[in-house]
Amino acid sequence: MEPWLIGIISFLVMMFMVFGGIPVFISMLVAAFGGFVALYHGDMTMVLTQFTNAPFNLGANYNYAVLPMFMLLGALAGETGIGEGAFSSMKAFLGRIKGGLLYTVIGANAVFGACSGSSIAGNIVFGKLAIPELEKAGYSRKYSLGCIAASGALSTLIPPSMGIIMFCLIAPSPLVYKGENMNLSVGSALMCGFGPGILTMIALGITVYLIGKFEKGALPPGGGPKVSTNEKIKSLKLLIPIVCLFGLIMGGTFLGWFTATVAGAIGATAICIYAFAKRVPFKKICYCIWDAAVMEAAIFPIIIGGQIFGRFISDTKLANFLSQAIADINAPPYVVFLLVMLLYILCGCVMDIVSIIIITVPIVFPILVNLGFNPYVLIIALCFMTEIAGLTPPVGMNVFATANALRVNPSEVFKGVLPYFITEVCIVALIGLFPQIVTVIPALLKVPGF
């Protein structure tokens, strides 16, 4: 049997197990084990070598320590009041205009993303902060919940982003791009999120405006207590912790003072010190540390399974075969890009964000790179697409995070998230058409790789 055919069969078996409700990491390990047995013609020595080396190499790779560090940073960012400060500052500037509180949610999520790196953290923090004020002001509950769930995705674009970091760790490297070997840099990838993040923030704001224009009664007319210029300027001090934390993490990484992994540790240490300074109860700090450890413990088996399955897919040359098949039928690269977007939306119906990245990257990423797409553009587009997939029923992790934080029925959130979902899908489609959205800011800043 041809190696690529073994790869296809194993992938289908794995997806069948996932759809059947079997945990993702078990599905990947079982499919990879059976695939390796078939690929190596029953040579168990080779199979067991793959299954023993990968867990050890991953456990010994300190680069993966960046994940729990940023998880801790995101957890403590919510406890120290950083999110509340971002919301209050944005509200001072935007609160009085029509739709101002929803613009505030979008802007605060973008600012909060500069230190949390987690969309779910934004969903929870701003859900609890904003919904009482939105309901009191007379905003449509449906569109308010949808805005909170959708704007959390900004944390995936505004660095430091957990999704981008994980993508860089999982993606095969070095890559052959335009005939040259290319090693992915986490720092360079993080800087690529600025342009799409700003564009998405503007697009979500336009969506809110259109909802107010065409849905009568969805948004109140605006107004409320006037905020003086002096008070607006004073509110900016609430952003100082975020600015300092962002400057420390991204400034140090960009200037080459330390790697992204070290930046995660420095950021986590800095936010712990800030938490003590804010007199956050020691018990809560310990809970955040425990929560980060538990999240890492849940993710790491999936990463191990994904790495082993990725090695299997690489050995079968499945990505190369599919790339050649696409070239032979002369499918336009952008059409393939759109099909991948559709695949991610379908995956989001049944899988969480981490699983989507780990399962799809070994196959999808090399195919699109071979078709001529810039690897950094793909990282941003596909990471954003996984977040958008988190808004789709029936699983929709971002929707369920918002619903659980507010103790509401997830169906309410799903109903209101549709216009924002369409907007964000359009942004990803634009990134595929105009890669300059991703590359222009890194090029201006002379980021390595641009």
Q: What is the pLDDT of residue 380?
A: 93
Q: Tell whether the model's pLDDT for residue 395 goes beyond 90.
A: no
- Verify cis geometry, omega within 30 degrees of 0, for the bond prior to 160: yes
How many Cβ atoms from other residues are within 10 Å of residue 153's Cβ? 30
d(CA 206, CA 425): 15
Looking at 317-352, list the stretches that DSSP marks H as alpha helix, in order from N- to C-terminal side.
318-328, 333-348
**pLDDT for 271-293, tens place per residue?**
899 899 888 898 888 988 888 88
Q: Tell whether the model's pLDDT for residue 377 goes beyond 90.
A: yes
- What is the mean pLDDT of the segment spanning 377-395? 86
Per-residue HEC secondary structure of 42-76 comes to CCHHHHHHHHHHHHHHHHHCHHHHHHHHHHHHHHH
**pLDDT for 361-376, tens place per residue?**
888 888 898 888 999 9
Q: What is the pLDDT of residue 58?
A: 73
- Do the beta carbons of residue 211 and residue 218 sit within 8 Å? yes
- What is the mean pLDDT of the segment spanning 207-231? 84
- Do the beta carbons of residue 399 and residue 153 sit within 8 Å? no
Please state, in angstroms and as integers, the Cα–Cα distance from residue 442 to each residue in 155, 177, 273, 384, 446, following that order.
Answer: 18, 18, 31, 18, 6
* CA-closest candidate to residue 368, choices 172, 165, 201, 139: 172
- What is the mean pLDDT of the segment spanning 332-341? 90
- What is the mean pLDDT of the segment spanning 173-187? 74
d(CA 334, CA 229): 48
**pLDDT for 294-330, tens place per residue?**
877 877 887 788 778 878 887 888 777 777 777 777 8
Domain borders along the chain are: 3-444
- pLDDT confidence band for 181 (50 / 70 / 90): confident
Q: Tell whether the model's pLDDT for residue 247 goes beyond 80.
A: yes
**pLDDT for 32-85, tens place per residue?**
899 888 888 887 887 788 788 777 777 777 777 777 887 787 778 778 888 888
Please state, in angstroms and as integers, the Cα–Cα distance from residue 83 to each residue in 114, 239, 380, 385, following that order.
Answer: 11, 9, 24, 24
d(CA 120, CA 149): 8
**Buried/exposed 83-102: b ≥16 CB within 10 Å, e otherwise:** bbbbbbbbbbbbbeebbbbb
- Do the beta carbons of residue 347 and residue 360 sit within 8 Å? yes
Q: Please give the mean pLDDT across all residues of the chain.
A: 84
- Do the beta carbons of residue 38 and residue 29 sit within 8 Å? no
Q: Element (H or E) spanning 182, and its range?
A: strand 180-182
d(CA 164, CA 186): 8
Q: What is the pLDDT of residue 350?
A: 65
DSSP state of 160: S
d(CA 141, CA 135): 7
Q: Tell whether the model's pLDDT for residue 180 goes beyond 80.
A: no
Backbone angles phi, psi at 395, to 5 degrees: -80, -65
pLDDT > 70 fraction of the chain, expressed in percent and rounded: 97
Q: Tell whether the model's pLDDT for residue 224 goes beyond 70.
A: no
pLDDT > 90 fraction of the chain, expressed in percent and rounded: 16
- pLDDT confidence band for 206 (50 / 70 / 90): very high
- pLDDT confidence band for 156 (50 / 70 / 90): confident
- What is the mean pLDDT of the segment spanning 255-269? 80
First to last CA, the chain: 42
- pLDDT confidence band for 174 (50 / 70 / 90): low
* CA-closest candidate to residue 362, choices 416, 431, 415, 314: 314
**pLDDT for 77-101, tens place per residue?**
778 888 888 888 888 888 788 888 8
Q: Tell whether the model's pLDDT for residue 382 goes beyond 70.
A: yes
Q: Tell whether the model's pLDDT for residue 11 goes beyond 80.
A: yes
Q: Could you tell me what percentage of the chain is helix, strand and coil, using 3-state DSSP and rounding each to the nearest 5? A: 80, 0, 20
* DSSP codes joined into one string, 228-262: -HHHHHHHGGGGHHHHHHHIIIIIHHHTTSS-HHH
**pLDDT for 87-136, tens place per residue?**
888 888 887 888 888 999 999 888 888 777 777 777 877 888 888 888 88
Q: What is the largest CA-CA distance in the chain?
A: 76
